[in-house]
Structure 1
Amino acid sequence: MNRRNFFLKAGVVGALAATEGLQSCVTGPKLYGDKSFYINRGFTAIPKLKLSSDRIIKETVGLRPFRISGPRMEKEMLGSKTIVHNYGHGGSGWSLSWGTGNQARELVKTTPYKEVALLGCGTVGIATATLLQESGFKVTIYTKDVPPNVTSNLATGTWSPSSRVCDRESATPEFEARWQDATRFSFRRMQMMLGMNDIVAWGDEYQVRKNAPSGTRRAGGSEVFHLKGLAPEWRELGKKDHPFNADYVRRRSNMIFNIPSYLNFHLNNFMIRGGKVEIKEIKTPEDIDALEQKVVVNCMGLGAGQVFNDKEVFPISGQLACLVPQTEVNYKLATDGAYFITRKDGIYLGGTGKENSWDTNPDRAETEKWVSILSDLMKEMKG
C-alpha cells in the first residue's frame, strides 16, 4: 500500500470513529430521527401576521360583476356593428380573463374585419385586447378610466376560476363546458408569466377552522365548479403538521396575482405593440354605434348590464383592508369570518360579499372585526 492511500483510508476511518463518539455523548434522539425537529422547522415557515389597526394603510370596496347564468360569451348584431360580449365574471374575472378572452377572439375571427374596438380596461379587457393583437388585429380600447382606477384593481388577486362565476342552479352543461375550456386556457397562460417581475407567483394557502365542517361545507368558499388536474388539490393536515389551534386545517399551493404590476405590465405591452387607449365613457348603444370600428368587443363588466339592459347582472361588493407589507409572510389564510392574502403591495384582509350592493364606502367595523378574528388566531399559534 502506498503512503497516499494509507493516509486517505486512515482519515476516513478516523472521521467515522469521531462521529460515533460524538453521537454517543448526545442525550435524546438523533437529529435525523427527531420528528419534532422537522415539525418545528415547518412552524418557522409559517410566520405570524402582525395585526393592529394602526398598520392599516387603506380600505377599499370593489364591485364584482355577477351574472346569474355566468359570463356572457356570444355574438350579436347592433345595427351595422358586430358585438362580441365578454362580461359578467363575478369573482372569477382575474382567473378566467385569458380563457374567455380567447373565446371572444375566436368569435371575432368569424368576421371579415381586422380593426376592433374593445370596451373596458380591466383585467378581462386587457387580456382580450392582447390576444386579439397576437392574432393580427388592430385594437383600440375605449374606457372611462385606466388602472389603477378600475374595478379590477380592487380585487384580491388569487386563482379562483369559479368564484361566484354563476348561480349553480342556472348553469347549463354548455356553460360548464365553456368554463372548463376557459379555465384550462387561462391556467396555461398564467404559467407563461411565472418569473416575469413576480406579476404571477405561487404560494401556500391555508384553510383553518376551529371545528371540522360538515360534508356539504368541506369545499368552503364560493367556488361553484372544480376542475381537477390543474392546480394542486387541498390536503388535510394532522395536528402535528401545523401550528394552528384548530381541529380542521388544510393546505394547498395556489397562484397569486400582484395586481398593480400585472395590470401595468400587460397594458404597457399592449401599447408598445401598437394598441391604442382612448378615454371615452360608453353610456348608451348609440355611443357604440358612433365608433368607427365595425367589430366591438364588450368587456365592460357591470357597465355592460346597464348599456345592454341585461337584467341578469348585478354587483356583489367586496371590502378589503390593506396592511403594511410584511416580507416574511408569504402565504394566504382563510378562517371563519376573515381571510388574508399576501401581495407585493401589502397584506389584504377581507371577508365580505354583499349582493346587489352598489355602496363603495368602506365599513371600518368590518375591518376591525377581521383584525380581531385574525389576531386571536395568530395569538394561539404554536412556536
Structure 2
Amino acid sequence: MQSPVNEPVEDVFLVAPDFSSAQIMGLNVGIRPFRTSGVRLQAEYLSDKLIIHNYGYGGSGLSLCWGGSQEAMGILRQEQNNHPELSRPDAIAVLGAGIIGITTAYDLLAQGCRVNIYADAFSPHLTSNVAAGIFSAPTVRADMSAVQSELLNHLFAISSQRFLAMAQSERPELSGVKFITDYHFEAESASELKSEKFKKTQMRKKRVRVHFNNGLIKAGIQTRELGIDGKIFIEDLYARLLSRGVLFHQRKFESVRDISGLNEKIIFNCTSMGSKILFNDTSFRPVRGHLIYFKPQPGIDYSLYHSLPGETDYWVKLYPWRDRLILGGVFEHGKDEAVIDPLVIERLLENARVCFNRI
C-alpha cells in the first residue's frame, strides 16, 4: 500500500489495544471453505429437480454474499424461462443456513417465493458465526482463471453497493453495517501476498503517524471502510427470515439421494464444504482460522491490520464488534478439524503483543 511521496502525513492519537490475558473473554475456531476452482454458481438437474449451486466463497462469503445471491436469482430466472413448469413452485428449498444460504433465502423472499431452509446446524453454531465479519475484496490468486477473477470482481461490486446503501441509510435494510476507520501497518520485509489478501474498498485513504497512548508511534495508512458487526447482521437476517415465514428444518443430508427426496422442485445448494460429499466436489482445500475474543475496551472503535516480517500465513488483525474485540491472523492450510490449538492461540497473542508493545 504505497502513497505519493509528497502526500502530507497526519498525526493521529489512539488508545493502544490491551492484549493481556485478563481481557480475554473467549476463543473460537472455524474452517474457511476454500475451493481451488473458486465460486460455483451453476445450474444442474437431478431427475426432475433444478439444483442451483451457490457456494465456494473461501472465507469471503460475507463480502460477496449479495453478489452471489443476485447471480443465483438470475440463474433461476433463466431456467424458469427455459422450463415454464418451474415458474410457479409451491416452495423453494435452500440447503445450508450460513451467510450464503440465508442471504439467498432473503432475496428469494423478495421475489415472492416461499422458502424452506434445510441444514444440520443453525446460527450461532456455524462457520459464518465464527468469522469476524471483515468486509474486504477477495484475494485474486495468480493461478486463478480470468473468468473466475472477473466473476469475483462482479460479485464484490454488487455486494459493495448493497452494503454501502445500508451504511448510509437512516433506516437500513439490515442492521450491523456501518463505516469504520481502519489502520494498516506494514512490517519491514512484509510479504506482498499479505497486502493482496487484505486489499480493501478504500473510501478515503491517507498517510498517518499514529501515536498510541502507551508511547508507541507507528507510520501507516488510515482508510474509511465499510464495517460489519457480524453478530448483529446475522441475527437480524435470521429474525427477518423467521418473521416472513421461512421454515427452518434441521436435517443432515448424507447423499444426493436424500436431496432427491425433498418435495421442492427447485433447490439452492449453499452447503459449501458439504458439497464435497453431496456432489462429489473434490476441489475444496480447507483452511483453519482461530479467533480470540477480548472484552470491549474504551477508545477501541477502530480496526487495524499489521503484517509480520516474512510471513504469509500469520498477521495481526483487530476488529471491533459492539460486545467484543476480535483478534485474528492465521491461515492454517489443510486443517479441517474445528479444534482450538493452544499453540496457535499463543502465537496470535505473542504477535499482537510484540506489534503493540504489550509484551
TM over 0.5: yes
Q: Report the CA distance shift for 1:286/1:356 in structure 2 as closer, same or farther (over 3 A).
A: same
Report the counterpart of residue 222 of structure 1 in structure 2.
197
Structure 1 counterpart of 2:34, one-letter code: F
% identity of equivalent residues:
25
Unaligned residue ranges in structure 1 (runs of 5+): 1-34
1:174 aligns with 2:150: no
Structure 1 segment 80-91 matched on structure 2, within 5 A: 80-91=48-59
Report the counterpart of residue 129 of structure 1 in structure 2.
105
Instruction: Please state whether the residue corresponding to 2:282 is helix, strand or coil.
Output: coil
Aligned length, in residue pairs: 329
Name the CA distance, whole Å, in 2 between partners of 1:326 and 1:291: 48
Name the CA distance, whole Å, in 2 between partners of 1:66 and 1:347: 25
Report the counterpart of residue 299 of structure 1 in structure 2.
270
Moved over 6 A (4+): none
Unaligned residue ranges in structure 2 (runs of 5+): 1-7, 81-85, 309-314
Report the counterpart of residue 340 of structure 2 in structure 1.
362
Structure 1 segment 304-323 matched on structure 2, within 5 A: 304-323=275-294
Report the counterpart of residue 118 of structure 1 in structure 2.
94
Structure 1 segment 8-157 matched on structure 2, within 5 A: 39=11, 42-43=12-13, 46-110=14-78, 111=80, 112-113=86-87, 114=89, 115-157=91-133
Name the CA distance, whole Å, in 2 between partners of 1:236 and 1:272: 46
Instruction: Indicate conservation of the 8 Å contact 1:210/1:248, yes or no.
Output: no
Name the CA distance, whole Å, in 1 between partners of 2:235 and 2:159: 19
Name the CA distance, whole Å, in 1 between partners of 2:183 and 2:335: 29
Name the CA distance, whole Å, in 2 between partners of 1:148 and 1:247: 37
Report the counterpart of residue 184 of structure 2 in structure 1.
207
Report the counterpart of residue 243 of structure 1 in structure 2.
211
Structure 1 residue 79 displacement after superposition: 1.5
Structure 2 counterpart of 1:338, one-letter code: V
Q: Report the CA distance shift for 1:191/1:209 in structure 2 as closer, same or farther (over 3 A).
A: closer
1:226-275: CA deviations, max 9, x gaps?
68xx54265443xxx32265775222122222122211111111121222
Name the CA distance, whole Å, in 1 between partners of 2:196 and 2:141: 14
1:294-339: CA deviations, max 9, x gaps?
1110001111122111111121111001011114201111222322
Instruction: Indicate conservation of the 8 Å contact 2:210/2:219, yes or no.
Output: no
Structure 2 counterpart of 1:299, one-letter code: C
Structure 2 counterpart of 1:315, one-letter code: P
Name the CA distance, whole Å, in 1 between partners of 2:322 and 2:206: 26
1:332-367: CA deviations, max 9, x gaps?
112223221111131111111112211212122322
Name the CA distance, whole Å, in 2 between partners of 1:284 and 1:373: 43
Name the CA distance, whole Å, in 1 between partners of 2:262 and 2:137: 33
Report the counterpart of residue 157 of structure 2 in structure 1.
184
TM-score by length of 1: 0.79
Name the CA distance, whole Å, in 2 between partners of 1:94 and 1:298: 17
Structure 2 counterpart of 1:312, one-letter code: S
Q: Report the CA distance shift for 1:161/1:298 in structure 2 as closer, same or farther (over 3 A).
A: farther
CA RMSD, 1 decimal: 2.5
Structure 1 segment 314-353 matched on structure 2, within 5 A: 314-335=285-306, 336=308, 337-353=315-331
Name the CA distance, whole Å, in 2 between partners of 1:64 and 1:349: 16
Structure 1 residue 210 displacement after superposition: 3.9
Q: Report the CA distance shift for 1:207/1:231 in structure 2 as closer, same or farther (over 3 A).
A: closer
Name the CA distance, whole Å, in 1 between partners of 2:266 and 2:162: 25
Structure 1 counterpart of 2:142, one-letter code: R
Structure 1 residue 109 displacement after superposition: 1.7
TM-score by length of 2: 0.84
Instruction: Please state whether the residue corresponding to 1:181 is helix, strand or coil.
Output: helix
Q: Report the CA distance shift for 1:355/1:369 in structure 2 as closer, same or farther (over 3 A).
A: closer
Question: Which structure dedicates a bigger proportion of its chain to helix?
Answer: 1
Name the CA distance, whole Å, in 2 between partners of 1:94 and 1:176: 18
